[in-house]
Amino acid sequence: MPASPTRSESLSDAIADAILSGEFAPGTHLDEQVLAKRFGVSRTPVRDALRLLNGTGLIDLRPRLGATVRTITPDELDMLFIAMGEIEATCARLSTLSMTPAERGQLRMLHERMGSLAEANDHDAYVLANADFHSLLYVGAHNSVIDEIARNLRRRLTPYRRAQFQAPRRLARSHAEHGLVVRAVLARDAAAANSAMLVHMSVVEDAFEALDAGSAAAREAAGERARDRLKRRAPPIRASRARAQR
């Protein structure tokens, strides 16, 4: 069973979601007191949540200045996803060669359970199980250096990877992609495991980009509607002056 997230981890997820949805725009100062009031918690878990987010690239946290929402360029995000894909593929490949029978059994059982979560569209439980799924492959590679690199990259990309599950039917598709990885690992087909994980990670990036593009378009459309409303409400300048003269 996946471990339940701590209060700070849940709070960091909520703040990350608000950033990714555009509610907290780039450059926004994240005031601890305001966040504590918004989420109904004390400032301590907020402070801990911001520390967790500081390693993701979503925010900049500076002594005495506090936290601000960071602007990450598309090129930076693309490089992170490419690096993550290569590392995850390496973990999958090494797992086919190094996993113990017990570890292979854990992977198979977790994948089966995730199928039920996907069918039930249990988003939160699937996200937690998904982290466990990838962690099993990090551990199964039996290479502590690669394990550390994978976890550091995952920490930086977690908000973006989690956001992809908001796409329609993404849980079912994710589970199907995992299935190709699992079958290759259990069959000890290293090349197939490497290839299947590369495809999975590229789809993860595509799903996030499509979702992000939709969110950006929605935000721009909302902005246009707001500007149109303001234009309709504002009286013409000449008419205002004419009334003043009369």
pLDDT in tens, 4-26: 668 888 899 889 888 876 688 88
Contact between 67 and 28 under an 8 Å Cβ cutoff? The reply is: no
Assign 22 to helix, strand or coil: coil
**pLDDT given at position 241:** 40
Average pLDDT over residues 64-89: 89
Cα separation, 239 vs 44, whole angstroms = 55
Average pLDDT over residues 226-244: 45
**CA angle in degrees (0–180, nearest 5) for 147-104-100:** 70
Cα separation, 154 vs 160, whole angstroms = 10
Chain mean pLDDT for the chain:
83
**pLDDT given at position 228:** 54
For the record, the structure tokens of 10 come out as 């849940």
Average pLDDT over residues 93-109: 97
Please tell me which residue, 25 or 87, carries the higher pLDDT value. Answer: 87
Average pLDDT over residues 184-193: 97
Look up the pTM and report it.
0.68
For residue 72, what is the enclosing H or E element?
none
Nearest CA to 7 among 45, 54, 37? 45
Strands (E), the chain: 29-30, 59-62, 66-69
Burial of 234 (0-12, 13-18, 19+ CB in 10 A): exposed
